[in-house]
Amino acid sequence: MTSSFGSRLEDTVKKTISENPVVIYSKTWCSYSSEVKSLFKRLGVEPFVVELDAMGPQGPQLQKVLERLTGQHTVPNVFIGGKHIGGCTDTVKLHRKGELESLLSEASNKST
């Protein structure tokens, strides 16, 4: 039974990241998650945020699915345009290099 449950969660993740230009899997208490969310806010981007710690028992399971899909077990787990970007450091690095904005505009063009 667990395998079908895991794949259902995997489908949910894939659907979420394909339907939203920017998705952040986050935890409400995580300072790195807050940093990424405020970076997007400053850029005028409204990300789709999934707070794993506010989901009850499904949160840790979802985090395991994310780790399986991305190889990353920490939050924030950031997706732009359906592509896994990484965590806080990766996102900030892209922003510093000036590459985040082009990714964001590509992603928002895809979804319209």
Q: Go through the domains of the chain in sequence order and give each one's CATH number.
A: 20-109 (3.40.30.10)
| d(C-alpha 85, C-alpha 96), whole Å | 14
Q: Is the bond preceding 76 in cis, omega lying within 30 degrees of 0?
A: yes
Distances (CA, A) of 49 to 55, 62, 102: 12, 13, 20
pLDDT of residue 5: 61
Percentage helix, strand, coil for the chain under 3-state DSSP, each rounded to 5? 60, 15, 25
Cα separation of the two ends of the chain: 37
Mean pLDDT in each 10-residue stretch from start to end of the chain (112 residues)? 68 95 97 97 95 94 95 96 96 96 87 53
pLDDT of residue 60: 94
